[in-house]
């Protein structure tokens, strides 16, 4: 059961390993934000949170911080 469920989720939920995957994951998050907004009780709110964490982790590891003047 888990294997079948996971194979359908991997299109929208995965750890990004390159810029292309990162951009695709960010687009998935944007779609969820458009659908869910600030509704923390929405059934997909947890998915939105998990994707946000994956994006943040990628940015922490791969996106250089801007130096503030």
- Number of structural domains (the chain) is 1
pLDDT digits (tens, 9 = 90+) for 16-67: 999 999 999 999 999 999 999 999 999 999 999 999 999 999 999 998 876 6
Residue 1 lies in a domain: no
Q: Long-range contacts made by residues 16-19, C-beta under 8 angstroms, separation at least 24?
A: 16/54, 16/55, 16/58, 19/62
Query: In angstroms, rounded to a whole number, what is the distance separating the alpha carbons of residues 53 and 23?
Result: 14
What is the three-state SS of the chain?
Answer: CHHHHHHHHCCCCCCCCCHHHHHHHHHHHHHHHHHHCCCCCCCCHHHHHHHHHHHHHHHHHHCCCCCCC
Residue 10 lies in a domain: no
Report pTM: 0.84
- For 32, the domain range is 17-42
Residue 35 lies in a domain: yes
**What is the predicted pLDDT for the residue at 68?**
59
Residue 5 lies in a domain: no
């Amino acid at each position: 059961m888990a294997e079948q469920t996971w194979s359908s989720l991997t299109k929208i939920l995965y750890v990004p390993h390159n810029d292309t995957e990162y951009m695709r994951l960010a687009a998935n998050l944007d779609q969820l934000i458009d659908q869910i907004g600030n509704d923390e009780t929405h059934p997909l709110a947890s998915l939105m949170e998990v994707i946000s964490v994956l994006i943040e982790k990628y940015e922490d590891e791969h996106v250089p911080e801007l130096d503030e003047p």
